[in-house]
Every structure is written in C-alpha cells, then in structure tokens.
Amino acid sequence: MKRNSRCLKTFVTLCIGLTMIITAACSGNTANSEEDDAIKIGVLASLTGPLETYGKQTVAGFELGLQYATEGTNEVGGKKIEFLVEDTETKPDVAVRKATKLLEEDEVDFLVGSSSSGDTLAVLPLAEEYEKIMVVEPAVADSITGKNWNKYIFRTGRNSSQDAVAGAAAIAEKNVRIATFAQDNAFGREGIAAFKEGAEKLGASIVNEQYADPNSTDFTANIQSIINEKPDYLYIVWAGSNAPWKQLKDMQLEEQGIKISTAAQDIASLRTMDSLIGMSGFSIYYHTLPDNQVNDWLVEEHKKKFNGEIPDLFTAGGMTAAIAIVEALKKTSGDKDVEGLIKAMEDMEFETPKGSMKFRAEDHQALQSLYAVTLEEQEGVDHPVPVLVRELNMEETEPPVRNGK
C-alpha cells in the first residue's frame, strides 16, 4: 500500500508539473498572440530640418486622432493600436531607410506620412512592394495620387490641384493677368501647374512664372522680373520658414498695383504675413473656419493637452489620417487583410476636423472642403487671421484624376 501511495504521489506531482508547463506555454502563446495581433502604424515625419514644425504637429494630431476615433481605448475590433514615429529629416534617402525599417523590423501594418512631397514620392514604391496601405498626410504633390500612385496609396491631405482650385476661385476671372512664384521642387512646380490650369479655365492668363531654390533667402531677381511684367496678381506657392513675404513688402509690390494671393497656411507662416493683411486667398485649415463637432473636440482637447495652444493646420491633418485608419478598421472589424481594407476605404466617407471627407475610388484622393478667406488683423492675436468668405465644398474643389485610371 505504501509503495502504491508513493507511486500515486509521484504521478500526481508529475501531472501537476506537466499542467503548469502546458499552462505557462499557453499563457506565453496568448501573450505572443495578442502582441502579434496588435495593429501597428508607422508614422514618417520631419521631426528635424526645415519642415520640423509640420512633422511635430502631424504626430501630435495623429495621437489625438487615435484618442478621438477609439474613444480613448486605443483599440479597434478588440485589437490594440500601436504607432511608431520615425524622423525622415526631410531627406528622401533617409525617408526610404526609415520606412524600410518600419516595414521589415517593426512589421507595421500601415504607413503614414510624410511632411515632404519629396520624401513621400521616394517611399510610395515601398508601399506597393510590401503590400501595405500608406496614408499620405500632409504631402501635396499631385503626382502622389497621379503618375506615381499605386493602389496602396490613400491621401487624407489635399493635393496641389485642390489648392489650385481654391486659389483660382479667390482671384481668377476673365482678363486678369497673373504672375506666379514658387519653390523649385515637386511641391512648387506641381502647385503652379495645377493653379495655371484652374486659373486659365476661369479666363485669366499667366504672364510670368518664377521658381526659386527651396533653400534660397534672396529673391530679388525673381521679384524684379515679376514687377517688370506688371501683372494684376502675384500668386505664390510656398512651404517652409524662408518665405519671401518680407522681401515682397520691401520691394513694394502692392504700391505698384500688384496684389498678392497665396494660401493662408500654418500659424508660423501667418506670423510672417503682416504685409499681406487684406489679401484675398484661401485656407486649408484654421481652427475658427470649420463648424463641426470633430473640430470642436480637437480645439478643446488640444488646449487641454498643450497649455492653451490652439491646433494648427498639420495637427488637424494628423488627426484626420488617424481617423481614416480607425474608420477603415471598424469596417473590417479589425481585420488587417490589405485587400479587404482597400475595398473598405474606396468611396469611404468619414468625419474630420474639416468636416466630411471621401476617398475617391479612382485614385484614393480624399475629397474635402477648403476655404476662401481674407486676412485680417485681430486684437490680441499675434498673426493675421484668415476670415471666412465662403466654404469651398468637396464638389467644388474636386481635382482631376491624374493617375490614368
């Protein structure tokens, strides 16, 4: 009996030990399964370099967008959402290297970005190679959803043609003579090409086109050429901190009868535009222009999180990109299958700080509102304020399909 008792005890001990091993193994597999099942998003942004402000705003907005779209859970379809940020330094080769790292090492399910059109164009082929959706925000070059597009690309940011429609609506009409000025890069040249197309459709003529090195700070020769042409308007496409506003004022274009028109972009740009008060132009986003619940939430939460600061253009863009991804995942119940996501996102309508947007099926460009504005001085505000003339709805700003589809 004692011998049998000892055998029984030994058997029970072995069973308990085996059960513990199996339980531990299963527990480990569950943890690994949960980790593998997480939805990973890689955000490419200029956190250093000339577009540093754009990148930091985009990341802040993206985090707020996830909070809003998931109601604070950072989950969709029962799966956790993780996002990783990489600095492209506003250098296309760095952008490719960082995107490759996100795709291969971090195994992200989505890419988002980038601050620069040059960076973004360099990364587009990777989305196709790795068969991962890339949500483009805020890069605007037409070729991103045009000749360089592939089916994995969805853009929440507006494109150059949408800017052009809004810019042309603000100033172009029959017999108006317009000169243009832009940076000599994809953003500048494509922006002017699209504006020219829109303005000429409205009866205006483009009488002078000037392009400057993106890193230049002396635009005397460009501006003098424009003055010599004596246009009615000078339309400008510009991004970054080295804007020509002060030099335009010093060379007295307004006094010579040349009205300046451009996009009222981020607040940093507006702070350099004192000489343009009274200008007729357009805005992509300013926190007082949209009238909807999403924007109200963004303004309130941004002030709470950032010591009373108001959200800016690229903050709203980052939030929009996050909302778009979460809304797509809601449609698939969290399923990360790329073909299913593409199907869900084509023609998808979703609410953003700028109101309703819709991904056009042909090129995945988000149709969206822009705003015809004038710049006004307001007491207690340290920059000219874009004041709404009228909202240009998504039908009015719909750009041509340029990807041949």
The Cα 232–Cα 121 span in angstroms is 35
Give start-end residues of each CATH 3.40.50.2300 domain in the chain: 39-158+289-368, 161-283
Q: Which one has a higher pLDDT value, 238 or 290?
A: 290
pLDDT at position 265: 86
pLDDT digits 0-9 by tens, 284-295: 999 999 999 999
- Give 161-283's CATH code, choosing from 3.30.70.260, 3.30.2130.10, 3.40.50.2020, 3.40.50.2300: 3.40.50.2300
What number does CATH give the domain 39-158+289-368? 3.40.50.2300
- The amino acid that residue 317 corresponds to is G
Backbone angles phi and psi of 87, in degrees to 5: -85, 120
Q: Is the pLDDT of residue 320 over 60?
A: yes
Residue 34's pLDDT band (boundaries 50, 70, 90)? low
Q: What does the pLDDT average to over 216-226? A: 95
Strands (E), 204-354: 205-212, 233-237, 259-264, 280-283, 349-352
Amino acid at 145: T
* CA distances from residue 403 to 147, 159, 274, 321, 361 in whole angstroms, order as listed: 5, 13, 39, 22, 12
Q: Is the pLDDT of residue 327 over 70?
A: yes
3-state secondary structure of 102: helix
Residue with token string 């922006």: 191
Q: Assess whether pLDDT exceeds 60 at residue 198.
A: yes
pLDDT value at residue 14: 42
pLDDT surpasses 80 at 35: no
Amino acid at 266: D
* Per-residue confidence (pLDDT) for residue 9, from 0 to 100: 46
What is the torsion angle, in degrees rounded to the nearest 10, for the CA atoms of residue 70, residue 76, residue 80 and residue 84? Answer: -70
- pLDDT tens string 48-77: 988 899 999 999 999 999 999 999 999 999
How far apart CA 279 and CA 264 sit, in angstroms, is 10
Q: What is the DSSP string of 138-149?
A: S---GGGTTTT-
Rounded to the nearest 5°, which phi and psi values hold at 325? Answer: -65, -45
- Is the pLDDT assigned to residue 331 strictly greater than 90? yes
Per-residue pLDDT, averaged over 227-233, amounts to: 96
Instruction: State residue 215's pLDDT score.
Output: 87
What rounded mean pLDDT belongs to the chain? Answer: 90
Give the pLDDT score at 36.
64
3-state secondary structure of 324: helix
pLDDT digits (tens, 9 = 90+) for 131-187: 999 999 999 989 999 999 999 999 999 998 898 888 998 899 999 999 999 999 888
The model carries a pTM of 0.84
pLDDT surpassing 90 at residue 374 = yes
